Structure formats: C-alpha cells, structure tokens
Amino acid sequence: MSGTTAARERLARSYTAARRHPWVLGKLGDWVIWFGPYSPAQLVVIGGGAVLLINTFAWWSWLGPVPVVLWLVAAWAVRGAKIGGVSPSTAVLGLVQLLSQPPAGRIAGRAARDVRPRLLTGSFVIEPPRAVAAPAPAPAVSGAVASARHSGPASGLSQLLGGAGLPVVPSSVGGS
C-alpha cells in the first residue's frame, strides 16, 4: 500500500448472538446464582421439581439420589427448550388464551353469540293455472332472408335486420 492511500481497518459487529441468547434470570451485575443464570423454563422445573420431591420423599427415598439427579438433569435439559419455535412459557400462554376463547370465537373483539332461535311462520296459496294464450305466428320471411338465417352463423346486425323483416344482403368478405 502506498502511504497516501492508507487503508482503514474495516470494523464489523454482529449482534446475532444477543438475539439468540435466551432471556435469563439470576444475573445481576457481577453476581450470578450458583450454576446460573437460568431460563424461566429451568426455574419452573427447579421449583416444581423441588416441591414434588419434598412432598413425595416417602415414595422415592429408597431409590437414593436417583430422583434428585433426574431432577437436575431435567433442569439442565430444558435450558433451550422450544415448542413450535417459541419458548415454553409463550406456548403455554398461547394454549391458555386458546382455551379461554368463547366457543363461537370473537367478532370485533367481543364474544360471538349464536342468534336466538325464533319461530318462523308463514303461509302460501296455491292458485289454479292461468289460461295460456297461443303464441303469435311468425312473420313471413323472404327467401333471401331465410337463406341468410340458415346459412350459418350470422352477424348481430344481420340477425337484427332479419328479425325486423328487412331484406338482408350478404356482404362479400375481402371483395373488390
């Protein structure tokens, strides 16, 4: 490189890791909970598992430390758990919202209600058929018009003129 065109170092920053890093609890400044920080799913497993293990100690005490080890492995296993691409707490919240919806759904934010049933009453009358008049006879058509009508598809103008009883003269296509 020449001295006049000194190249500056390019600096690039990537914040992708910050977006991927899960929301955690247990870190405040430099202080961190033992073996922490923990995700909300881990805290639920730790808290729920502790209550379950304490209340059922009489049932599993003969197994020794196996249930406690399984409890700690379960807390470690849910550190990055995803359900349908979202965190377990968000998935549970969505399920609760789904179950709390009214059965008919919502319209404009309000619960949709079925329309109350009502009795429909009505009547009808059967009348005798009316006398049908005989159709009017078709007007006499000249031979040129009849041949133009039956010679194949005709233009709308020739059909209109033919229906009015006027003579129709076929046009020559591409003639001189």
Could you report the per-residue pLDDT of 5-26, keeping only the tens digit for each?
567 788 877 766 555 555 666 6
- Cβ pair 33, 47 in contact under 8 A: no
How high is the pLDDT of residue 69?
A: 93
Tokens 């247990």 correspond to what residue? Answer: 26
What band does 71 get if pLDDT is binned at 50, 70 and 90?
very high
Q: What is the DSSP string of 28-96?
A: ETTEE-TT--B-HHHHHHHHHHHHHHHHTHHHHGGGTTHHHHHHHHHHHHGGG--BTTB-HHHHHHHHH
Q: Does residue 104 carry a pLDDT above 70?
A: yes
- Rounded to two decimals, the pTM is 0.42
What pLDDT, in 10s, does the model give residues 105-157? 888 888 888 888 889 888 888 888 888 777 777 666 555 555 555 555 667 77
